[in-house]
Amino acid sequence: MQLWRRFTQRLRPRQAGDALLALPLGLIVVIVLVDVLAARLPLGPSLLIVAPALTASFASTLVTGAIAAVAVVGMLIIGLDSHLLGTVDFGSQFFALLVVSGVVTVFCYLRERRARELALVRMVSEATQRAVLRPLPRQIGPLRVASMYLAAQEQSLMGGDLYAAIRTPTGTRLIIGDVMGKGLTAISDAALLLGAFRESAHRQADLPELAAYLDHSVCWNLAEPSEVETAGECFITAALLDIPDALPLIHVVSCGHPPPLLLRARQVSALRATKPAPPLGLGELTAAVYHVDTFAFEPEELLLLHTDGVIEARDARGAFYPLAERASSWTLHSPSALIRHLRTDLLAHVGGHLTDDAAVIAVQHTFRQTPTVVRTTDDSA
């Protein structure tokens, strides 16, 4: 009995329950019993073809072949009982059962092989995307961090949105951005900017220099020599942040990106740039000047960075997602709890599917000394 159970468990595909597997087996048993015990049915043996065909719709190759073998045995039982083994009519039905059983079994094999190939491609794709968009750790220096990425394209972990964090000798630098466009081109452009940021964030002296370097990188690489006419059409909105370890401050350079939100005591404030720069990739066209805005960032506060895929998400009536309003009730949460609430609430708002990529980062400073700092702006930071 135990051996039989192990055998049936091995044969049974994960997606096929006992009820589904009982359908073809029950059909074979009913047809054989009715034909043998009651009276011979004109179409009785031919109905056995239904069993392997039905099994192929949900079961594996091994299970489909096993059911086909049982159907063949059932037809032989009917033939022996009715003394029809040598007749032309029974032979044609038996041959049809063998052909159909072979065809559906081969079909199952090809389907499983295709599924394995797709699973391998998906695994490689996911590994590649995770290498490009590395998950942010929960602790970066004195910062507690949580992040969320929702790709609009199904079966994808990454789209045109991006974020990254780099440690420097004095603090942490963050970037969050949104590439114009969708699909593989957007992913390629996001990977390009992330690579440039990781390579230069710890070397550039200040945020304006870093922003200028990233703008040049986008201009150089997004417009290939053969695509000069599209040089002004490729751009990436981004926000660059520098959060010192020793001071409760945030330095921000905005390149056409939605302003970060500061959450504290059930209040939400948008940290709007006084002089926002154009998106990365357009700096050479507009002679961009990168202005640094400095804001206070106390330990009990939460900093929420996001892309426009969040605030432009619409419900069934076309209403935008009210991020600031919803976030006001989560100001006392930890970064990870805030992200969990936001993810659930955002997906509920859009009915489970986004039409644009959405990325969010929640940051909390664990700096314990709280000197009085007045919010100022600094052109030379």
Task: State both tokens at 1.
Answer: 């009995």
Q: Kindly list the strands in the beta sheet with 302-306, ordered across the sheet, starting from the edge strand earlier in the chain.
A: 139-140, 143-150, 358-365, 302-306, 261-264, 267-270
| Cβ-proximal residues to 101 (8 Å cutoff; 6+ apart), any chain | 49, 52, 65, 68, 69, 71, 72
Dihedral sign computed on CA atoms, order 57, 62, 66, 68: positive
Q: Mean pLDDT for each consecutive 10-residue tract of the chain (381 residues)?
A: 48 53 86 75 72 87 90 87 79 88 91 87 71 86 93 70 92 93 76 89 84 88 50 78 93 96 92 93 79 93 95 93 93 92 95 90 78 42 35
Report pLDDT for 125. Answer: 67
Report pLDDT for 209. Answer: 92
Report pLDDT for 148. Answer: 93
Rounded to 5 degrees, what are φ and ψ at 261? -110, 140
Report pLDDT for 242. Answer: 96
Report pLDDT for 377. Answer: 40
The amino acid at residue 299 is P
| Cβ-proximal residues to 126 (8 Å cutoff; 6+ apart), any chain | 157
pTM for this entry: 0.68
Q: How far is CA 197 from the centre of its chain?
A: 23
Cβ(263)–Cβ(302) under 8 Å? yes
Contacts 24+ apart (CB under 8 A), 366-371: 366/142, 366/143, 366/144, 366/299, 367/142, 367/245, 367/246, 367/247, 367/248, 367/299, 368/299, 370/248, 370/298, 370/299, 371/247, 371/248
Cβ(367)–Cβ(142) under 8 Å? yes
